[in-house]
Amino acid sequence: MAHAKRLCPHLQRLIPDFDKYRQASRQVQDIFRELTPLIEPLSLDEAFLDVTHVGRMQGSATWMAQWLKQEVQSRVGITISVGVAPNKFLAKIASDWDKPDGLYIITPDRISEFLDHLPITRLHGVGPATAKKLEGQGIHTCSDLRNVGLPTLLEAFGKFGVRLHELARGIDERPVKVERERKSISVETTFDRDLPSMAACREKITELVTRLEERMARYQHPAINKLFVKIRFDDFSITTMETAGQIPELKSFLPLFDTAWQRAERPVRLLGVGVRLISEDAQRQLGLF
C-alpha cells in the first residue's frame, strides 16, 4: 500500500474493518453448522466441511453447496465460492476455480480428467523451489507427474515424493479436523504512516502487549514456549526476534524489539508481538515426569 500511494498519491484507500469481517465470518460459520458439525476453519473466510453423512437434500453435495451460497447471500449479504470434491485437496482447488461467486464440482469419475492439465504449482505443498525442481525435469502438469515412478520421486524429494505421487492422482486422505491445535497467539498493527523512530515504536509495543494479554486471557492463558516480536520496515523487509523462558510482559518484549529494530534502524510500517505455545503432545510428555 505504501508503494501504491507513492505511485498514485491520489489513491482512495478503504480502511479495513476487521470487527465487521469477524462478525460476517461468525454468521457464515453459523450457517455452515446448520448443515454439518464437521467444520475445519482455515481463516476468517475459508473452511472445509465434511458432508459425507449429511442426509438432507437427498445427500447431494451439489445441492448443499447451492443451498450454502443462497443462504449466505440472503442472510449475510455476501457471495461465496464453493468447491465440491471427494477430498480436501480437490475441494480447495475447486473452490478457487470460478471465483468470485463460483461453484465448481469435481466428481470421482472426473478426477483424472481434471488433473491432466493442472499445473504442478497448484498442488498443496509445492512452493517455488519444488516447482522449479520439477519443471527442470520436464514436469509441468499432474499428467507429467503421474508418468514419473514413485522411486524416482522418493530419490529426488524424499518423503514428500509420496505426497506428490498421491496428489497427482487426486489422493488426499486428510480428514476434516474439527479441532485444530493453536500454535501461537499474536497481535499486530499496520500503521497508516511509518513510525519514524525507536521511541515511537516502543510506545506502540506497550499497546500491543496490552492487546496480547487480553487475547491470551480469552484462551485461558495457555502454556507458553517462546515470545516473539515481528517488524516490517518501510522497505517491506521483515525481521523477527524471539526468546524462550520469559514471562509475556512489556519488559520482556521491549528488549526483543530493540534488538530486532537495530538490524535495520529504519522507519517501521508494521509491528507485532506474540507467543508460541507448547504443543499438546509436549505437555503430555512433560506430565509423565
Which residues are part of the catalytic machinery? 46
Decide: 119 and 139 in contact? Cβ < 8 Å. no
CA-based R_g, the chain, Å: 23
β-sheet bridge partners, residue 82: 103
Decide: 43 and 22 in contact? Cβ < 8 Å. no
Q: Give DSSP secondary structure letters for 203-255.
A: HHHHHHHHHHHHHHHHTT---EEEEEEEEEETTS-EEEEEEES--SSHHHHHH
> CA–CA separation, 106 vs 99, rounded Å?
15
Grid look-up 509491528 returns 271
